[in-house]
Amino acid sequence: MNFDKLVFLDLETTGTNPVADRITEIGLVEVDASGKAVHWSSLVNPEVPIPSFIQGLTGISNAMVKDAPTFAELAPALHDRLQGALFIAHNARFDYGFLRNAFSEAGLPFKADVLCTVKLSRALYPGERKHNLDSLIERHALKADARHRALADADLLWQLWQKLKATLPAETLGAALQSLLQRPSLPSHLPTDALDAIPDTPGVYLFYGENDMPLYVGKSVRLRQRVLSHFNSDHKLYKDMRLSQQLHRIEVRQTAGEIGALLLEAQLVKDLQPVHNRLLRRQGDLCAWRLKEDDKGHTLPVLTFASEQDFGRADRLYGLFSSKRKAEAALRELAEAHQLCLLQLGLEGRVGNGKPCFNWQLKRCKGVCIGKEAESFHRARLEGALANLHVKVWPWPGAVGLVERDGDRSDVHVVNNWCYLGTARSDDELWTLLEQQPSRPAFDLDTYKILSRALTRKDLTIRPLSPA
């Protein structure tokens, strides 16, 4: 393949986050179609302090960049240099992501064809285990003047390019370039064919890191499109950049539709505990308010926990909270909005007989605490305030199958007591799931939310089940 202009580029930065961190040095080698190379570099004032360990790694100190131009000052000329060029870097998504964000802040759009020399080396030398820059220096006898300085590292990439062109058949190098440049910018640890088998159907995808550590679980009704989106964002999201750096393997599991994908994602996140799925991982100490009568006949909200009783079959439950603190905060907000008595709700202790609650003094209580309001009226207002938080009781005596179809594929999602037991595609699988279900399936908040929405769909077939 022939290119009118190549730019081999390296950046030094204050850290690894392209949104929060800043560029401290730019080095590039600009090569025209005739092979003439122009070297250019500049220190960059990041306008923030450089961490001490970064100073030790690069040798670039705060004093060195104090009087250097800012990126905004360099941006117009640098943008002209990069226009129309093939952008070549080692772990290119890192450098490209920083530049895209820096140019965006300077008000300049930037987009270029990108070639990663890590992936190029992997494609050309699949038998080699290491493809970091130090390994390439040794393998190809490159001349390293000053590691971890931008221009020196950019020049190493230019040397590598010349060695590859001199030692490899043109068709071999051309085929590798053709393959890499027609693909999205994949993470450097993935093989070039990593996306070939991913279908554009509903399902769940799993990202694994080194030693098969679970990194992330996601779902989509279009798997291929969703997976590609992680690699086409140019690091506008810091999470995507971190995933890109850590990702070694992708696994996909197809489902018949969105419901199956949602249920499987929630289950896998809790089973595998991926490091980047913090929200779905956190079940916490699940609790809810339950209205009960005390020995005096007063109706009071009492905090109850899923570990203590069966949330799927308990009546008069309101709200699902991951902690006691969140449950009490929610009840206080309702009291504020509906002029409920904190004493009656158990959120405030009485300081003396006949004394009103604190909200009465602020005119935020209608006086049930001192007999100014009938308790029946207060109870009715409390139940009205809690109505939107009502937890649905499981509406069947046992397990049911939610039948989801997509063409020739038919999945039966087996659920009981708001708990997802698994998905079956045959009668044998179905009865195995039923026979292996626990006597009291664990109530799960995420599954409850998914199923509550799913059961309102008119296109879903619900099949009552019983063990064989």
Distance CA 173, CA 162 (A): 11
Distance CA 180, CA 93 (A): 13
pLDDT at 451: 94
pLDDT at 180: 86
Per residue in 73-109, pLDDT (tens digit) is: 999 999 999 998 999 999 888 899 899 889 999 999 8
Distance CA 294, CA 300 (A): 7
Contact 28, 63 (CB under 8 A): no
pLDDT at 2: 65
pLDDT over threshold 90, residue 252: yes
pLDDT over threshold 60, residue 158: yes
pLDDT at 458: 83
Contacts of 32 (CB under 8 A, 6+ apart): 4, 5
pLDDT at 245: 82
pLDDT over threshold 70, residue 280: no
Neighbours of 428 (CB within 10 A): 9
Residue that wins the pLDDT comparison between 440 and 290: 290
- Among 26-35, 251-260, 304-313, the minimum mean pLDDT is found in 304-313
Distance CA 12, CA 26 (A): 7
How far does Cα 84 stand from its chain's mean position?
33
Q: With bands split at pLDDT 50, 70 and 90, how would you rate the model's confidence at 283?
A: low
Q: Is 192 exposed, middle or buried (0-12, 13-18, 19+ CB in 10 A)?
A: middle
How far does Cα 310 stand from its chain's mean position?
31
Q: With bands split at pLDDT 50, 70 and 90, how would you rate the model's confidence at 468?
A: very low
pLDDT over threshold 80, residue 61: yes
The pLDDT mean for the chain works out to 89
Residue that wins the pLDDT comparison between 313 and 351: 313
Mean pLDDT, range 26-38, rounded to an integer: 94
Q: What percent of the chain has pLDDT over 70?
A: 94
Distance CA 157, CA 200 (A): 36
